[in-house]
C-alpha cells in the first residue's frame, strides 16, 4: 500500500510576513493579491473574524482598519524564497518530494517505518528552521492526505500532524467531511451532488461507480477511488515542462490607448518568453487577450482574443513581440477602457525539435542568441525588467499597485533586516 504525506504551510503568505516581524506575532494580518485587489491570505486571527478569502479589498478595507488588521501587498519574491527553504527541509529528511504549489508538497512515506513520527519531526524542523507553521496529513492516497491535512489544521490537539491510515479513522472523518471540501470537487460538482442528496464524502464514496462515471466522468471516479483509499494519482517528483505559459496582469489604471496596450503586451511577452527559454522550449501559437472591467456594467465591454500561429516556432522575444503587435492592432478599439490583458503561449515543443519552415529560416544568428542569453543573465542577476525591449515602455502608467509591500528580507541586500544590539 502506498503512503503519502502532504505538507501544507498554514496561511502561508501571512505566516511569511510574520517571520521577520516578531512584533506582529499576535496581530491579525492580511496579504493582498496583485494590484492590492483581493484578500489572498489571512492570519488565523483574521479568519476568526469571518473575513472570507478572495474578497475584494475595497469591500473590507474599513472593517480591517477599524479592528487594527495590518495589511500587506503581496511580495512573491520573498514567499518564493521561504517556500524553497521549506522544500529543502523536506528533501533533507524524505528524499524525493513533489512540489505541488508554493506552499504544499507531497512526500512519499511508503517505505518509512513510522510515518507519523517523521511527520512530527518535519513539523518541528520547519517550525524552528524556517519559521512557518505547517500541517501534515498522512494517508494511503493523495486525496485522503488532503483530507488528513485539513483535520490536522483544524484540530490543534494533534500537534499539526494527522494520520488516517486505519480504515476506522477514514470513515469516521469522511462522514463529517463535506463534498465541497474534497480535492477535485468544485462548486459545479458540489451543486450537482447536493441536488442528488449527497452532502458528505462518505455518502459520495458509497455511490455506484457507473453512476459516478456517467455523471462526473473519469476525474470524478478517480476522486472516489482515491477517497476509498486506492492510490490513483501517483507522485510526480520531477517538474514537467509546462504545456502552456501565461502572463497577464490587471492594470493599475484603465488603459485606453493602443500604444499603452502594446507596451503592456510586450512586457508580458518578455516574461512569458523568458519562462519558455528557461524550460528550453519554443512556442507555435500565441494568444493575446484583452478585457475591459466586467464589473462596470455601464461601460463598453470587450472580452476577446486573437490566436496567432507563428511562422516558425520560436522563443525569441522580438519574434513574438512582433507577432503580438499584429494581434493588438486587431483587438484594440478606441473608446474602450481596458482593465486586463495577457498572452498565452501554446503548442510548446523542445527547442531542439523545431519543425523547420521551408521558406523562412528559423535559426537565429549567433548574435541574436547571444544577445538574448545576455538579457536573461542580466535580468536574473539584477532583477526582472532591468533590460527590456523599448516596445515595453519605460515607467508605464498602467503598472500594478503594490503600495503596502514588505521588504524582500531574504533576497535583496538593500532590504535585509537590521538588528539593533
Binding residues vs DNA (CB under 7 A): 33-35, 37-38, 40, 54, 56-58, 61, 100-104, 146, 182-190, 217-219, 240, 242-250, 254, 271, 275, 285, 293, 295-296, 307, 309, 339-340, 342, 347, 400
Closest CA to 71 of 51, 91, 94: 51
Min CB(40)–DNA separation in Å: 6
Q: Which is nearer to DNA, 295 or 395 (CB)?
A: 295
Q: Which is nearer to DNA, 87 or 371 (CB)?
A: 87
Q: Which is nearer to DNA, 207 or 371 (CB)?
A: 207
Neighbours of 387 (CB within 10 A): 14
Min CB(231)–DNA separation in Å: 16
Q: Which is nearer to DNA, 127 or 306 (CB)?
A: 306
Cα separation, 46 vs 153, in Å, equals 16
Min CB(367)–DNA separation in Å: 29
Min CB(175)–DNA separation in Å: 19
Cα separation, 357 vs 26, in Å, equals 62
CA 271 to chain centre: 16
Cα separation, 238 vs 240, in Å, equals 6
Min CB(15)–DNA separation in Å: 13
Cα separation, 412 vs 419, in Å, equals 16
Cα separation, 202 vs 39, in Å, equals 32
Q: Which is nearer to DNA, 24 or 400 (CB)?
A: 400
Min CB(296)–DNA separation in Å: 6
Closest CA to 151 of 134, 163, 168, 133: 163
Supply angle C-alpha 6, 12, 14, rounded to 5: 160
Neighbours of 248 (CB within 10 A): 18
Q: Which is nearer to DNA, 121 or 399 (CB)?
A: 399
Min CB(416)–DNA separation in Å: 26
What is the pairing mode between strands 70-72 and 29-32? parallel
Q: Which is nearer to DNA, 56 or 417 (CB)?
A: 56
Closest CA to 129 of 75, 79, 82: 82
Helix boundaries (H) for 155-237: 167-174, 187-195, 201-205, 209-227
Report helix, strand or coil for 340. strand
Amino acid at each position: 500500500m502506498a503512503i503519502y504525506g502532504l505538507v501544507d504551510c498554514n496561511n502561508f503568505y501571512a505566516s511569511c510576513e510574520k517571520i521577520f516581524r516578531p512584533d506582529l506575532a499576535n496581530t491579525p494580518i492580511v496579504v493582498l493579491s496583485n494590484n492590492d485587489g483581493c484578500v489572498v491570505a489571512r492570519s488565523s486571527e483574521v479568519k476568526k473574524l469571518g473575513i472570507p478569502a478572495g474578497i475584494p479589498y475595497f469591500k473590507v478595507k474599513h472593517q480591517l482598519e477599524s479592528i487594527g488588521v495590518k495589511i500587506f501587498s503581496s511580495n512573491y519574491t520573498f514567499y518564493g524564497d521561504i517556500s524553497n527553504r521549506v522544500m529543502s527541509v523536506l528533501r533533507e529528511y524524505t528524499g524525493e518530494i513533489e512540489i505541488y504549489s508554493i506552499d504544499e508538497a507531497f512526500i512519499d512515506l511508503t517505505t518509512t517505518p513510522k510515518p507519523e513520527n517523521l511527520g512530527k519531526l518535519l513539523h518541528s524542523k520547519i517550525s524552528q528552521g524556517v519559521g512557518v507553521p505547517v500541517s501534515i496529513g498522512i494517508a494511503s492516497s493523495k486525496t485522503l492526505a488532503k483530507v488528513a491535512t485539513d483535520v490536522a489544521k483544524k484540530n490543534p490537539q494533534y500537534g499539526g500532524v494527522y494520520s488516517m491510515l486505519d480504515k476506522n479513522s477514514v470513515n469516521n472523518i469522511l462522514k463529517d467531511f463535506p463534498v465541497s471540501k474534497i480535492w477535485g470537487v468544485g462548486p459545479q460538482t458540489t451543486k450537482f451532488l447536493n441536488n442528488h442528496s449527497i452532502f458528505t464524502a462518505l455518502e459520495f464514496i458509497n455511490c455506484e461507480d457507473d453512476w459516478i462515471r456517467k455523471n462526473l466522468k473519469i476525474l470524478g471516479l478517480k476522486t472516489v477511488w482515491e477517497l476509498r483509499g486506492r492510490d490513483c494519482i501517483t507522485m510526480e517528483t520531477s517538474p514537467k515542462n509546462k504545456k502552456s505559459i501565461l502572463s497577464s496582469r490587471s492594470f493599475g489604471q484603465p488603459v485606453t490607448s493602443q500604444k499603452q496596450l502594446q507596451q503592456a503586451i510586450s512586457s508580458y511577452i518578455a516574461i512569458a518568453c523568458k519562462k519558455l527559454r528557461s524550460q528550453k522550449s519554443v512556442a507555435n501559437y500565441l494568444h493575446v487577450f484583452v478585457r475591459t472591467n466586467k464589473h462596470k456594467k455601464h461601460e463598453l465591454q470587450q472580452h476577446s482574443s486573437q490566436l496567432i500561429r507563428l511562422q516558425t516556432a520560436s522563443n525569441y522575444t522580438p519574434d513574438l513581440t512582433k507577432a503580438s503587435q499584429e494581434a493588438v492592432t486587431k483587438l484594440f478599439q478606441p473608446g474602450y477602457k481596458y482593465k486586463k490583458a495577457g498572452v498565452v503561449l501554446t503548442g510548446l515543443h523542445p527547442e531542439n525539435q523545431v519543425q523547420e519552415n521551408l521558406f523562412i529560416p528559423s535559426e537565429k544568428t549567433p548574435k541574436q542568441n547571444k544577445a538574448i542569453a545576455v538579457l536573461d543573465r542580466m535580468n536574473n542577476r539584477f532583477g526582472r525588467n532591468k533590460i527590456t525591449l523599448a516596445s515595453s515602455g519605460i515607467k508605464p502608467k498602467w503598472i500594478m499597485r503594490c503600495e503596502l509591500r514588505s521588504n524582500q528580507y531574504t533576497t535583496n541586500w538593500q532590504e535585509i533586516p537590521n538588528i539593533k544590539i
